[in-house]
Amino acid sequence: MSFPLIVAHRGYSAIAPENTLASLRKALEAGAHACEIDVHLTGDGEVVVMHDGTVDRTTNGTGALREMTLDQVRRLDAGAWKGPEYAGEPVPTLAEVLALLDGRAHLVCEVKDADIEEAVARTIVDAGAIERVTFIAFDHQMCARLRDVLPSVGVLWLIGDGDHDPGAVAEACLESNLQGVDAFYGAISEELADTLLRRGLSLWAWTVNQGDEALRLASLGVTSITTDDPVLIASALG
C-alpha cells in the first residue's frame, strides 16, 4: 500500500492561527508535503489569504474583505485569537505564501470567489510558481475557468458530504479536463475511489484528523490527505 501525501490544512491549524505564515512555518517544521490555503480579493484587487469573506472570525477586525484595502487588512491582528504567542500575526498575501513555500512544499490553493481567477493566476505567474501549485474549488465552473486561465496547473473539484454518483463525478471531471476530486473524507467510498482511479483521476481527501480514517483512505488508494494535524496523520500512516 502506498501512503498518501500529507497536506497541512490552512497550515498547521491544530496549533497555530489558520492561514497565516506562522501556521505555514509550523507545517513546514512538521514535515508536511504540501500546505493548503484559501484566497480572496481585497477591494483594491490584492490576493490575500483567508478562509472567510469577512475578517470577523480570525482577526480583531470586522467587515468584508471586498470592502477593505490591503493596507487596512494588513493592520489587523490575525493571530491573537489562537494564543498570545501569535499576537500581531498579520493576514498574509498569496505572494508572501508562495515566497515562503518556494522549494520547501507544494501549495494547494482554494479559490473562494467567482471572479478572482485571473488575479490569482497573475500572482502565481509573477512568482514563477506554476509548477508548485494545485487549485481546488467547490464550484465546478470555477474549476473549469481555473483550468483555462493556467492550463498547466492541476485543478481538483472539491465535493462535500453526502451521496455522489461516482460515474457522474468522474464524467464531470473528464469533461472539464480536471486532475480529479478532493472529497470530504466521509464521502469517500470504495465505489467512488475505484471509479475515479480507474478513470485515471486523482482522489484527495479532506479534512482528516483521525488516524484510523487515514489508514482506511490509504487502503482505498487516496492520493493525498488534508489534515489540521500533519504530525498526527504522519504518525498514524507510519
Residue range 193-215: mean pLDDT, rounded? 98
Q: Which three cell numbers stand for residue 199?
A: 478513470
pLDDT value of residue 163? 86
pLDDT at 202 over 60: yes
- Does residue 20 form part of some domain? yes
As a whole number, the mean pLDDT across the chain is 97
Kindly state the percentage of the chain with pLDDT values over 70. Answer: 99
Domain of 25, CATH number, reads: 3.20.20.190
- Does residue 62 form part of some domain? no
pLDDT at 5 over 70: yes
- Does residue 35 form part of some domain? yes
Reported as a single tens digit per residue, the pLDDT across 158-167 is 999 988 999 9
**Burial (CB count within 10 angstroms: exposed 0-12, middle 13-18, buried 19+), residue 84:** exposed
For the chain, how many structural domains are there in total? 1
pLDDT at 37 over 80: yes
Q: Scanning the structure block, which residue is given the C-alpha cell 522549494?
A: 103
Task: Give the structural domain span for 139.
Answer: 5-54+91-237
33 is catalytic: no
- Does residue 26 form part of some domain? yes
51 is catalytic: yes
- Does residue 119 form part of some domain? yes
Selecting among 9, 40, 106, 164, the annotated active-site residue is 9
Q: Enter the pTM of the model.
A: 0.97
Selecting among 33, 40, 51, 164, the annotated active-site residue is 51
Query: Helix H segments across the chain?
Result: 21-29, 70-74, 94-101, 117-126, 140-149, 166-175, 190-198, 211-219, 230-237
Reported as a single tens digit per residue, the pLDDT across 59-84 is 999 999 999 999 999 999 999 999 99
pLDDT value of residue 180? 98
Q: What pLDDT band is residue 1 in, cutting at 50, 70 and 90? A: low
CB–CB of 97/105 below 8 Å?
Answer: no
Query: Helix H segments across 79-200?
Result: 94-101, 117-126, 140-149, 166-175, 190-198
